[in-house]
C-alpha cells in the first residue's frame, strides 16, 4: 500500500502498461490464430470455446504432471483437435461456418466446465514469469514487468507469421486459398485441406492462449475465467485488418485500456468505474469507425470470407 502511495498518479500509466502486457496475451494468441484461419477463407467463431477448453486442459495437465509447460502443450493440442473438428465439419456440404462456430463455442465451454469440475479446488504449478524489472529496485514496478514467456511467444510469432504469409510457399498458398478458391483449384491446391489445416493451427494458438489464463494470469481454473476474450479476439482480427503484427497492437491496446478502470480506482477516481470498463470496447469501435469508409471495401479482407454462406 505504501508503494502505491509512493507512486501516486504515476501508478496509472504503469498499471496500464502492466495491464497491456498481462491482459493482452490471450487476445494476442487467439487473434493470431484466428488471423491464420481467416486468411484461408474460414471463420472460426468457436475460439471462445477453444480458449476455455485450453484453459481447463492446461490447468489439469499441469496439476497431474507437475509440469506447466506440458500443460501448455496439452492445451495447444486440445485446441488443435477442436480446430480440426471445426475444419472438418465445415468442409461438409451445407455446413455454415458461423452457425457451426457458435455451436462449437457452446460445446467447448460446456465440455470444459464438465471435465474441469474437479480442478476448481486443487492448485496446479503455474508457469514461471521472467522478471525484467528487478533492477529498478521498486517492487511494484518489478511485478508489473514480470513477463510471461507466452507473451513473448505472441510477440515473436506475429512478425514471423507476417513474414511467413509473405515469403513462404505455404503462406502464399494459404492466401490464395483465402482469396480465391477457384484460382487455388486451378493451381491444383486442395482448398478444404488447407482450410482444415489453418483452422487446426488457429485452434492450437487459441488453446495456448487459454492455458495462459489458467496458468499465468489470473492463474487459476474456475467457470468465470473467461469473459468473452475468445470472441473479442475474433473481432480484433477484423480491427487489425487481418495483419498479424497489427493483431499484437490491437491486443495491447485492448489490454491496456481494460486496465484503465481498475488503475484509476486504485488512485481514488471511483466515478465512472463502469464507464472506464467499457473503454476498450468504445476505443476499438471508435477506431473502427474512423478508419472505415462506406466507399471502399474493407482493405485486406480475404475475399473468400465474403462468400461464406
- Positions in the binding site for another protein (CB under 8 A): 166-170, 172-173, 175-176, 179-180, 182-183, 185-188, 295-297, 300, 302-303
Between CA 89 and CA 109 the distance in angstroms is 19
As measured in angstroms, the least distance from the Cβ of 308 to another protein is 13
Between CA 56 and CA 33 the distance in angstroms is 19
Distance of CA 227 to the CA centre of its chain: 12
As measured in angstroms, the least distance from the Cβ of 307 to another protein is 9
As measured in angstroms, the least distance from the Cβ of 291 to another protein is 14
Neighbours of 132 (CB within 10 A): 13
Which residue's CB is nearer to another protein, number 102 or number 245?
245
As measured in angstroms, the least distance from the Cβ of 187 to another protein is 6
Locate 30 and state its grid cell. Answer: 487467439
Neighbours of 142 (CB within 10 A): 15
As measured in angstroms, the least distance from the Cβ of 169 to another protein is 5
Which residue's CB is nearer to another protein, number 98 or number 136?
98
Which residue's CB is nearer to another protein, number 93 or number 169?
169
What is the full DSSP assignment across 123-147? -PPPPP-EE--GGG--HHHHHHTEE
Which residue's CB is nearer to another protein, number 2 or number 293?
293
The residue assigned the cell 511467413 is 164
Locate 96 and state its grid cell. Answer: 455454415
Between CA 227 and CA 205 the distance in angstroms is 18
Q: What is the largest CA-CA distance in the chain?
A: 68
Which residue's CB is nearer to another protein, number 104 or number 174?
174
Give which of 36, 69, 73 is closest to 178, Cα–Cα: 36
Helices 149-167, 191-215: crossing angle, 10 deg rounding: 160
As measured in angstroms, the least distance from the Cβ of 47 to another protein is 24
Distance of CA 68 to the CA centre of its chain: 19
C-alpha neighbours within 13 Å on the C-beta side of residue 198: 31
Which residue's CB is nearer to another protein, number 188 or number 271?
188
Which residue's CB is nearer to another protein, number 126 or number 173?
173
C-alpha neighbours within 13 Å on the C-beta side of residue 29: 34
Which residue's CB is nearer to another protein, number 20 or number 165?
165
Amino acid at each position: 500500500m505504501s508503494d502505491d502511495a509512493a507512486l501516486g498518479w504515476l501508478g496509472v500509466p504503469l498499471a496500464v502498461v502492466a495491464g497491456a502486457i498481462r491482459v493482452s496475451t490471450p487476445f494476442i494468441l487467439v487473434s493470431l490464430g484466428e488471423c491464420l484461419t481467416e486468411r484461408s477463407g474460414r471463420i472460426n467463431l468457436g475460439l471462445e470455446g477453444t480458449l476455455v477448453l485450453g484453459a481447463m486442459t492446461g490447468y489439469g495437465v499441469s496439476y497431474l504432471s507437475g509440469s506447466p509447460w506440458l500443460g501448455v502443450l496439452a492445451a495447444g493440442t486440445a485446441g488443435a483437435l477442436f480446430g480440426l473438428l471445426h475444419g472438418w465439419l465445415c468442409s461438409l456440404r451445407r455446413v455454415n461456418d458461423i452457425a457451426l462456430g457458435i455451436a462449437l463455442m457452446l460445446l467447448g465451454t460446456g465440455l470444459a466446465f464438465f471435465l474441469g469440475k474437479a480442478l476448481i479446488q486443487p492448485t496446479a504449478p503455474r508457469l514461471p514469469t521472467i522478471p525484467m524489472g528487478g533492477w529498478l529496485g521498486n517492487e511494484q514496478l518489478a511485478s508489473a514487468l514480470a513477463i510471461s514467456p507466452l507473451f513473448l511467444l505472441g510477440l515473436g510469432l506475429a512478425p514471423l507469421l507476417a513474414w511467413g504469409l509473405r515469403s513462404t510457399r505455404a503462406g502464399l498458398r494459404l492466401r490464395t486459398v483465402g482469396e480465391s478458391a477457384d484460382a487455388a483449384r486451378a493451381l491444383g491446391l486442395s482448398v478444404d485441406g488447407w482450410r482444415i489445416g489453418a483452422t487446426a493451427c488457429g485452434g492450437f494458438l487459441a488453446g495456448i492462449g487459454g492455458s495462459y489464463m489458467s496458468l499465468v494470469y489470473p492463474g487459476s481454473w474456475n467457470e468465470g475465467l473467461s469473459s468473452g476474450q475468445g470472441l473479442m479476439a475474433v473481432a480484433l482480427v477484423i480491427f487489425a485488418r487481418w495483419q498479424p503484427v497489427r493483431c499484437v497492437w490491437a491486443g495491447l491496446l485492448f489490454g491496456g485500456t481494460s486496465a484503465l478502470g481498475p488503475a484509476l480506482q486504485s488512485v481514488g477516481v471511483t466515478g465512472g468505474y463502469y464507464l472506464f470498463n467499457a473503454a476498450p470496447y468504445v476505443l476499438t469501435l471508435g477506431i473502427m469507425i474512423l478508419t472505415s469508409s462506406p466507399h471502399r471495401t474493407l482493405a485486406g479482407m480475404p475475399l473468400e470470407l465474403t462468400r461464406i454462406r
